[in-house]
Amino acid sequence: MIDTYRHKGMRKELVNSLKKKGIKDERILNAVFKVPRHWFLDSSFLEYAYEDMPFPIGSGQTISQPYTVAKQTELLKVQSKMKVLEIGTGSGYQACILGELGAKVFTIERQKKLYLKTKEFLKKFPYRIKIFYDDGNKGLPAFAPFDRILITAAAPEIPETLIEQLKPGGILVAPVGKGSVQEMIRLTKLENGKTEIETFGSYRFVPMLKDKAND
């Protein structure tokens, strides 16, 4: 896989457009500059890799729009060495952005084909990412609790099981809604176990489905 000056130039442009759209965290902008997004798309789609838009990655799924990835990451307030659970591995791009920030990433994908493909692909990166084939609604009780949980598919409601797997003081970010448009929410689990919810506008994600899929 190659990464040329041209690709880096295109990433610089993308970073500038994310800044204009309000992403402020320099660590996140730097991570977007570092991770070659064109590696996550079929090579014939290079022209689209650094446009700020979502893109199909096969199995009926999409790689999220760079702005959405940056925004969710910013809302998550990730620090180096944190244990982060991601629901919806997809292409693995978001997981790599978290990895680039120094997080220990645990990511779950329910589609077997996509899981197998991304698992193999992620070996090319130096990040601490463990990928699991399962229904993310269940979380990962064996590895809980987590400092942060990020859902990258549309959740009809926040799964109670995931809140339970959050450390006190932990944060969960998710697009929540039953229809085609969801509200981005940030849930903070306070030290006393109570939860606090903030909202951050409308987004469109592919649905978070139940159970594993064998295709």
Task: With contacts defined by CB under 6 A, name the span among 76-84, 108-116, 169-177, 179-187 that binds ligand SAH.
Answer: 108-116
Classify the C-alpha dihedral 158-112-73-100 as positive or negative: positive
For residue 148, which phi and psi values (nearest 5 degrees)?
-140, 145
Residues 24-83, interacting with ligand SAH (CB under 6 A):
61-64
Under the binding rule (CB under 6 A), the answer on residue 94 touching ligand SAH is yes
In our burial notation (b when 16+ CB lie closer than 10 A, e otherwise), range 152-174 reads bbbbeebbeebbebbbeebbbbb
Of 90 and 170, nearer to ligand SAH (C-beta) is 90
Q: Where are the alpha helices (DSSP H) in 4-127?
A: 5-20, 26-34, 46-49, 66-76, 93-100, 112-121
**Least spacing, CB of residue 55 vs ligand SAH, in Å:** 9
User: What string marks each residue from 122 to 161 as x (binds ligand SAH by CB under 6 A) or -?
Assistant: -------------xxx--------------xx--------
Of 6 and 117, nearer to ligand SAH (C-beta) is 117
Under the binding rule (CB under 6 A), the answer on residue 175 touching ligand SAH is no
Instruction: Find the binder of ligand SAH among 114, 129, 131, 187 (CB under 6 A).
Output: 114
Closest CA to 31 of 82, 81, 92, 102: 102
Under the binding rule (CB under 6 A), the answer on residue 101 touching ligand SAH is no
- Burial of 140: CB neighbours in 10 Å, binned 0-12, 13-18, 19+: buried
| HSE value, Cβ hemisphere, 13 Å, CA-based, for 192 | 2
Of 169 and 207, nearer to ligand SAH (C-beta) is 207
Task: With contacts defined by CB under 6 A, name the span among 24-32, 43-51, 91-99, 173-181 that binds ligand SAH.
Answer: 91-99
C-alpha dist (Å) from residue 23 to 16, 103, 104, 167, 186? 9, 19, 23, 26, 16
Cβ-proximal residue to ligand SAH, closest one:
88
- Catalytic residue list: 64
Q: Which residues bind ligand SAH (CB under 6 A)?
A: 61-64, 87-88, 90-91, 93-94, 108-111, 114, 135-137, 152-153, 206, 208-209
